[in-house]
């Protein structure tokens, strides 16, 4: 099993700090999650049904009916490589570590392109190009026009572009979800998640947007009832709540900019609306310094990076700021 953010109980035990005293900034999940309402008893009592409106709500949200609900984008990450012919995959890295592990497990060969952008990935002429946009963990952005052009170039040579857009919801104009599996981009596969922007990581709901034959193969492998009835109900309502979405996006953009500014004195910072990544030589030392003060951030063993999620309230912002000031003055 790979390491992930959110291992708060493990940190609490290791540092002997009570669970309730921690400030968890390790995941990049929106701390102001969509407000889940009371659910009818029927969603707990009955088997999930695919005509409950979830697919229609998702199609409206993503602008594309070519989609398959899955138990978080993690489910798609594990299944997708097995439905595509084995080949060489250009993987823009560093990347969410579950991606390369799943492709390698399915028998594909990977070419890791360190800190590359899409034009570089296309130049290696592999059948598949795999990336996160925005990238997790580096926060690098691949512009919309460049990504669309990449899909077109790969289509000409029979290739595929696979994009994980788990952190794309705050900037929907940059998404390629509406094109995935359409006549314009039949070779484009996009993965989406409700865990980050909506703050519903525990519900385990995501979507694959792709050509119908790809979705059919994946559905066959995944099987029925991949998402629980309550999770389907919550996802349907959240995707349809345009007022909450339009109000949340500028709030997250402002918080992302505030986090970027807070970290900038420490080193090189790149950021999204949901997290910021700090590059500095003393990643291990700063990670330990913050953890000893009950602040958990994400460290990456293979890169000199620390990823910070958003504090959830003003007290948390002040707590993080005070800890960083202590680090700077030590």
Q: Residue 193 is part of a domain; what is its CATH number?
A: 3.40.640.10
| pLDDT classification of 2: cutoffs 50, 70, 90 | very low
215 with 272, same domain? no
Residues 265, 103: Cα–Cα separation, whole Å: 38
Predicted confidence at residue 225, as pLDDT, reads 94
pLDDT grade, residue 303 (50/70/90)?
confident
- Is residue 81 domain-shared with residue 200, that is, in the same domain? yes
- Cβ pair 252, 168 in contact under 8 A: no
pTM, two decimal places: 0.95
**257 found inside a domain:** yes
The last residue of one of the domains, among 240, 274, 298, is 240
125-144 pLDDT, tens digit each = 899 999 999 999 999 999 99
Domain, as residue range, for 228: 43-240
Kindly tell me if the per-residue pLDDT of 302 is higher than 80: no
pLDDT at 1: 44
What pLDDT is stored for residue 41 in this prediction?
96
- Same domain membership, residue 176 and residue 84: yes
Residue 6 pLDDT greater than 70, yes or no: no
Domain endpoint, select from 240, 273, 294 = 240
Query: Cα–Cα distance between 176 and 58 in angstroms, integer?
Result: 14
CA 330, chain centre distance (Å): 35
CATH of the domain at 25: 3.90.1150.10
> What is the rounded radius of gyration, in angstroms, for the C-alpha atoms of the chain?
20
Task: Over range 266-295, report the average pLDDT.
Answer: 96
**Residue at 122 is within a domain:** yes
The tens digit of pLDDT for each residue in 29-53 reads 999 999 999 999 999 999 999 999 9
pLDDT score of 221 more than 60: yes
Residue at which a domain ends, from 224, 240, 256: 240
**Does residue 267 lie in a domain region?**
yes
DSSP per-residue letters across 187-233: TEEEEEESSSSS--GGG--EEEE--HHHHHHHHHHH-S--S-HHHHH
The domain tally of the chain equals 2
**What is the model's pLDDT at position 151?**
96
Residue 49 forms part of a structural domain: yes
pLDDT in tens, 145-201: 999 999 999 999 999 999 999 999 999 999 999 999 999 999 999 999 999 999 999
Inside any domain, residue 2: no
The pLDDT confidence band at residue 80, using thresholds 50, 70 and 90, is: very high
Q: Are 227 and 249 part of one and the same domain?
A: no
Residue 1 falls inside a structural domain: no
Which residues, in sequence order, are CB contacts of 192 under 8 Å at separation 6+? 62, 73, 165, 166, 168, 169, 177, 206, 207, 209
Q: Are 236 and 215 in contact (CB under 8 A)?
A: no
| pLDDT of 47 | 95
Q: How confident is the model at residue 5 (pLDDT cuts 50, 70, 90)?
A: low
113 and 133 share a domain? yes
Model confidence band, residue 7 (pLDDT cutoffs 50, 70, 90): confident
Residues 6+ apart with CB under 8 A from 301: none
Which residues make Cβ contacts (< 8 Å) with residue 310, sequence separation at least 6?
A: 25, 30, 31, 252, 255, 256, 259, 274, 275
**Pairing label, strands 188-193, 206-209:** antiparallel
Residue 85 in this model has a pLDDT that exceeds 70: yes
Name the most confidently modeled range: 7-16, 110-119, 190-199: 190-199
* Judgement on whether residues 322 and 175 belong to the same structural domain of the protein: no
Q: Let me know whether 131 and 68 are in one domain.
A: yes
Q: Are residues 57 and 132 in the same domain?
A: yes
Does residue 227 carry a pLDDT above 50? yes
Whether residues 223 and 93 share a domain: the answer is: yes
Residues 176 and 211 in one domain: yes
* pLDDT over 80 (residue 291): yes
Residue 198 token pair: 């909506």
CA-based nearest residue to 79, from 177, 194, 215 = 215
Same domain flag for 262 and 306: yes
In a domain, 224, yes or no: yes
Question: Based on the domain organization, do 247 and 204 belong to the same domain?
Answer: no
- What is the phi-psi region of residue 321: left when phi exceeds 0, alpha when psi lies from -120 to 50, beta otherwise? alpha
């Amino acid at each position: 099993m790979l390491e992930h953010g959110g291992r708060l109980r493990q940190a609490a035990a290791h540092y002997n700090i009570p669970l309730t005293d921690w400030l968890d900034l390790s995941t990049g999940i929106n701390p102001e999650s969509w407000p889940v309402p009371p659910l009818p008893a029927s969603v707990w009592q009955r088997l999930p049904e695919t005509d409950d409106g979830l697919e229609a709500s998702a199609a409206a949200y993503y602008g594309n009916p070519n989609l398959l609900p899955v138990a978080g984008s993690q489910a798609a990450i594990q299944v997708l490589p097995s439905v595509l012919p084995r080949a060489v995959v250009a993987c823009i890295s560093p990347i969410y570590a579950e991606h390369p592990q799943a492709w390698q497990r399915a028998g594909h060969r990977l070419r890791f392109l360190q800190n590359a952008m899409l034009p570089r990935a296309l130049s290696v002429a592999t059948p598949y190009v795999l990336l996160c946009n925005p990238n997790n963990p580096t926060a690098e952005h691949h512009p919309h026009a460049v990504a669309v052009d990449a899909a077109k170039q790969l289509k000409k040579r029979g290739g595929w572009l696979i994009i994980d857009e788990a952190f794309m919801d705050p900037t929907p104009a940059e998404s390629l979800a509406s094109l995935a599996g359409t006549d314009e981009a039949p070779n484009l596969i996009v993965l989406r998640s409700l865990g980050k922007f909506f703050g519903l990581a525990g519900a385990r709901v995501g979507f694959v947007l792709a050509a119908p034959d790809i979705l059919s193969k994946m559905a066959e492998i995944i099987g029925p009832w991949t998402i629980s009835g309550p999770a389907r109900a919550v996802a349907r309502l959240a995707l349809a709540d345009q007022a909450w979405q339009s109000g949340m996006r500028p709030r997250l953009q402002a918080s992302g900019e505030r986090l970027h500014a807070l970290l900038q004195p420490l080193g090189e910072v790149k950021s999204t609306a949901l997290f910021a990544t700090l590059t500095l030589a003393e990643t291990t030392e700063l990670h330990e310094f913050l953890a000893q003060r009950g602040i958990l951030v994400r460290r990456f063993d293979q890169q000199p990076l620390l990823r910070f999620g958003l504090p959830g309230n003003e007290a948390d912002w002040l707590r993080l700021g005070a800890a960083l000031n202590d680090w700077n003055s030590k």
